[in-house]
Structure formats: structure tokens, C-alpha cells
Amino acid sequence: MFNYIKNIITGIISLCDGLSVTLKHVFRKPITLQYPEQKPDLQLRFRGRLVMPIDPEKNDNRCTGCMMCAKICPNHSIMEIEKVMEDGKPKPKVKKYIYNFGTCMFCNLCVEVCPFAAIIMSDEYALADENKEKFILDLVAERYNLTGKKLNWWKSKFKKEPAEEKVQK
Ligand code: SF4
């Protein structure tokens, strides 16, 4: 008899426990979105795909062709980097940067290793395609433009030139 009453009380307590969780969620702001009509507000660090944005101050990309990103990429998704040549000498500027986001793991190592903040992960998503050729992109030719918060966040990563730092001191 004692056990019977004990089981009933335990059942009521656990029922109230479950209902309290349900009630909490009833009054909470919904976190679901009516996708694709509503788009998510993504975090700045979201890893969509690799892009080489145009630095508005230079009206060009910031890549020097140092190859550090290509060397660190674990699965060779940065397939080719070709430097600009002048009088037979390579310049710290690239004319071709071939990236395959079909093989990219979005590990972000290339972005982290780049000394010039020349590349960044975009906030694009839903990039699936049935044609694999479309995943191979020339990021230089693309001339990608960042806007808004993401642009400001990217610009905050630029290191000051040593000369610039001296002037400000
Ligand atoms: S993106 Fe950065 S790390 Fe890669 S080649 Fe250009 S400057 Fe070097």
C-alpha cells in the first residue's frame, strides 16, 4: 500500500516536472524560422565558403601570393595560385587563385594562416549543385564584395603596416 501511494506521488511529481518544461517553452520566443522566406541572422564567424574580398581602400584584393594558405590546406582545395609577373619577376599580387569548395572541409585553416587577412569565409549557404565544375572558382576573377557588419569585422583583422603604426605613436 505504501509503495502504491509512493508511486502515485512520484508519478505526479514527474508529470509536473514535464509540464513545467512545456510551459516554459510556451512563453519563450520561437527560435524556428519559416525558411526559405525567412533567412537566419548568421554569426560573423559562420563558415560558408572561401572568398577573397575586395579591400575598398585598395579597390583590389589583399593577396600577395605567399602560398601559406595552399600549403596548410589538408586536402588541396586551394588548387592553384598564380602570381602577377613583371619583367620576368613575380610581384606580390595574384592574377589567379583557384579554389575548389567541392572538396573544402571549411576547417578555416587557410583563413587563420593568411598574414594579410586576404581571405575569409563568406556567409553563403545552400550552395549544393549537381555540377561539380561549378565548385571550382577563381577567387581573383570573382571580385567578391563584403558589406555591412561582415565588412567591418573583416577590416578589423587588417594588421597595420609598421610605418603606419609609427605615425600613429
Ligand atoms: S590568401 Fe593569404 S595566405 Fe593565401 S596566398 Fe594570399 S596572402 Fe598568402
- Tell me the three state secondary structure of residue 78: strand
Residue 29 per-residue DSSP state: P
Task: Please report, for the chain, the start and end positions of each structural domain, with discontinuous segments joined by +.
Answer: 1-31, 50-159
Protein residue whose Cα sits closest to atom 6 of ligand 1:
63
Backbone angles phi, psi at 130, to 5 degrees: -85, -10
Protein residue whose Cα sits closest to atom 8 of ligand 1:
66
Pocket, ligand 1, Cβ cutoff 6 A: 63-69, 81, 113-114, 116, 118-119
Residue 114 exposed, middle or buried by CB count within 10 Å (0-12, 13-18, 19+): buried
CB atoms within 10 A of CB 148: 7
Enumerate residue ranges in the chain where pLDDT < 50: 167-169
What ligand 1 atom has the least distance to the C-alpha of 67? 5
> What is the second-level CATH architecture of the domain 50-159?
2-Layer Sandwich (3.30)
Q: Is the peptide bond before 36 cis (omega within 30 degrees of 0)?
A: yes
Distance of CA 90 to the CA centre of its chain: 30
How confident is the model at residue 169, as a pLDDT? 46
Alpha-carbon distance 133 to 79, whole Å?
13
- Ligand 1 center to residue 162 CA distance, Å? 19
How confident is the model at residue 168, as a pLDDT? 47
How confident is the model at residue 107, as a pLDDT? 96
